[in-house]
Copies of this chain bind each other. A is one copy, B any other.
């Protein structure tokens, strides 16, 4: 497996893991969106929904693959996602 495919698979698994973790642990019932753009190599975990009248639209995780490297563009996980990569 080449690096790109390997990195993509790792990133997708990390995002899926956090999606499950947040779904199981959070009381909020926002939609967890897994966004996988395998062509441009952008990968997101999003919170989308409403808290009463307040709009929730928040990026929990954003990871890219650029020049054969993994870029953590945004990371709002508690302990940081880097240890999972």
Copies of this chain assembled into the complex: 2
Q: Would you list the 9 A-B pairs with minimal beta carbon distance, nearest first? A: A35-B42, A35-B37, A57-B74, A37-B37, A36-B37, A48-B73, A33-B42, A57-B73, A35-B35
Interface size bracket, A side: 10 to 19
Interface residues of A, dominant DSSP: strand
CB neighbours (8 Å) of A36 from chain B are: 37, 39-40
Taking A35-B35, A48-B62 as given, write out 10 further A-B residue pairs in contact, using a Cβ cutoff of 8 Å, ordered by the A residue number: A33-B40, A33-B42, A34-B40, A35-B37, A35-B42, A36-B39, A36-B40, A42-B46, A46-B62, A57-B74
Q: Is the CB of A62 within 8 A of B57?
A: yes
Q: How far is the CA of A46 from the CA of B42 in the complex (A)?
A: 11
